[in-house]
Homo-oligomer: A and B are copies of this chain.
């Protein structure tokens, strides 16, 4: 493995200084910490001295004898960046923060027709599904399924339920326990996220979906492998309604330029059709996005206020363990 351990050290100085004298001054500090050899090895690269702030980078191979470098954390609080490793541990949050996961291996990887799909293993979160670099769901994340099914406050017994997406099987597995009349789950394709779970879930996402995806049809559920948009349009034409519509297709787009991002248009279309097939006393559940993306969330809420069927809504902020950021979920119903 060619991974490099990259330590960053930052010092705030009270006055402007000469770079050369600063570095020689720092060397004596490193010398006390028995770091002299490593500093020498960097041969002048990797430091940048400026007015009032000195940043120093130390780079070495992961398997070099650098036990003493772990003391560096005492100065900076910053653990080493592991760069160029075979298994990437850095998966930024939706709000763009740098986050290091405890990923220890890549379980599965595929470039599908639709997206890059990875299943990564984390010691604490279990298997994590990563789609195009975004953390999607982990085995630890029953909080996600709880939130998008109404946080345990709904009674699904005898109800008609429509799930849009939900390919990981978590929502379906949770709801069949509650004896609904019928759950219809619509997945676009055997490729992508969906095929991944349909084909591989038996070993890789067992905790999330149980054995529910082994069959496409059960006593109180059916899984339709098709695009949900024509199906929703057909339901609207037939006047068919559902007590619950659960949209698990996509988060609210991070981009707040709807005219430049087709996901916003897709989201508006799904939202409009979903509310049309919702029973007058029914509920619509969907995820929002990171609680920090206030601009995108506001834009979504504004759109909720301009649907062809008027709706009220409420939101809930939920901690989904593997997301490492607070996540917003919405409930909407017809006025």
One of A81-89, A156-164, A171-179 contacting the partner: A81-89
Taking the nearest CB of chain B, how far is it from the CB of A196, in angstroms? Answer: 20
Known pairs A10-B84, A50-B2, A97-B101; A79 contacts B92 (CB<8 A): yes
In the assembled complex, the Cα of A6 lies from the Cα of B81 at a distance in Å of 12
Task: Write the chain B residue with the least CB distance to A70.
Answer: B96
Taking the nearest CB of chain B, how far is it from the CB of A26, in angstroms? Answer: 14
How many copies, total?
Answer: 2
Which residues of chain B are within 8 angstroms of A89 by Cβ–Cβ distance? 97
Contact B77 A97 (CB under 8 A): no
A226, CB-defined interface residue at 8 Å? no
Which residues of chain B are within 8 angstroms of A107 by Cβ–Cβ distance? none
Task: Write the chain B residue with the least CB distance to A325.
Answer: B124
Contact A97 B98 (CB under 8 A): no
Contact of A90 among B78, B92, B292 (CB under 8 A): B78
Mask, A55-70, CB within 8 Å of B = 1, is 1010100000000000
Which residues of chain B are within 8 angstroms of A57 by Cβ–Cβ distance? 46, 57
A140, CB-defined interface residue at 8 Å? yes
In the assembled complex, the Cα of A98 lies from the Cα of B324 at a distance in Å of 12
A72, CB-defined interface residue at 8 Å? no
Contact B92 A78 (CB under 8 A): yes
A143, CB-defined interface residue at 8 Å? yes
A133, CB-defined interface residue at 8 Å? yes
Which residues of chain B are within 8 angstroms of A2 by Cβ–Cβ distance? 12, 50-53
Mask, A1-36, CB within 8 Å of B = 1, is 010101010111000000000000000000000000
In the assembled complex, the Cα of A143 lies from the Cα of B143 at a distance in Å of 13
Contact A12 B84 (CB under 8 A): yes
A125, CB-defined interface residue at 8 Å? yes
A95, CB-defined interface residue at 8 Å? yes
In the assembled complex, the Cα of A290 lies from the Cα of B123 at a distance in Å of 11
Known pairs A45-B45, A45-B48, A55-B84; A99 contacts B100 (CB<8 A): yes
Mask, A206-229, CB within 8 Å of B = 1, is 000000000000000000000000
A326, CB-defined interface residue at 8 Å? yes
In the assembled complex, the Cα of A141 lies from the Cα of B138 at a distance in Å of 21
Contact B100 A98 (CB under 8 A): yes
Residues of A within 8 A of B (CB): 2, 4, 6, 8, 10-12, 45-48, 50-53, 55, 57, 59, 73, 77-79, 81, 83-84, 88-92, 95-102, 123-125, 133, 140, 143, 290-292, 317, 319, 321, 324-326
24 A–B contacts from the bound complex (CB under 8 Å): A2-B12, A4-B55, A10-B83, A11-B84, A12-B84, A45-B48, A53-B84, A55-B84, A73-B92, A77-B88, A78-B81, A78-B90, A78-B98, A79-B97, A79-B98, A90-B98, A97-B102, A98-B99, A99-B100, A123-B291, A124-B325, A124-B326, A140-B319, A140-B326
8 more CB-based (< 8 A) A-B contacts, given A97-B100, A98-B98? A2-B52, A8-B81, A48-B59, A73-B92, A78-B90, A97-B102, A140-B319, A319-B321
